[in-house]
Amino acid sequence: MSSNNTSQADFDILGFDVTSAMALLGDNEDLYITVLQRFYDNYRNVPDQLTTLSIVTDKEELQRTAHTIKGLAATIGAVDLHIKAKATEYAIREGREPMLLTLKEALSDCLDKIACYFAKKNGGAITEKQPPKFEKYSVEALVEHLSKRRYLSDDELDKYKAALKTYLDDTELAKTLDAIKDLNYDIAMQIIENKTD
């Protein structure tokens, strides 16, 4: 457990499977809180966006959004949201009508719980803040680099190996590092994301 020492009762307001989520993050409480904040900051406008997307014209974007929400929901322990995002992703993939309203409601509920958690933790409302600062060589920092298509030298990549080893087995690690070296960042991010499925 990190030095932040948030009590379990503080996390109970979330209604998430915090124990499993923390295990995915190496029982790093500070990192878990940072991931919660980042999820809130990046997804608080998505419920409104879901209602403007069309299954006919925006199918790929909807499927990608549902897939990303599914993985992130697993990372923060939001089981209900994970299940609904997974069902939405599969419905789109299989050509069935997705229950976008159900996903929107589950995401809104999740965001409300996170806002309540931070309001209680901070003694006030969740506020706008600068993007979170990740540990310099964390998996999240690596994904941030990859998503922005930033080149990583072999020396920099070596510094991320320890963090990646907490998520990936040796085969997955080798494939991820090879994909990054070949500038196939989407493949590398997909391997990392799939660990949260």
Domains and CATH numbers, the chain: 8-122 (1.20.120.160), 139-194 (no CATH)
Tell me what pLDDT residue 3 has: 39
Q: How many residues does the chain have?
A: 197
Joined tokens for residue 185: 């960042």
Closest CA relative to residue 52, chosen from 37, 65, 41: 65
**Per-residue pLDDT reduced to its tens digit, 77-113:** 999 999 999 999 998 888 887 788 888 999 999 998 9
Mean residue pLDDT across the chain: 80
Judged by phi (left if over 0) then psi (alpha if -120 to 50, else beta), residue 148 lies in: alpha
Tell me what pLDDT residue 133 has: 43
pTM of the model: 0.59
Q: What is the dihedral of CA 149, 132, 89, 26, to 10 degrees?
A: 100
Q: How confident is the model at residue 154 (pLDDT cuts 50, 70, 90)?
A: confident
Per-residue pLDDT averaged across 104-128, rounded?
A: 79
CA distances from 89 to 5, 20, 104, 149, 189 (A): 36, 23, 13, 25, 18
Q: How confident is the model at residue 54 (pLDDT cuts 50, 70, 90)?
A: low
Tell me what pLDDT residue 56 has: 63
Closest CA relative to residue 74, chosen from 44, 109, 35: 35
Tell me what pLDDT residue 4 has: 47
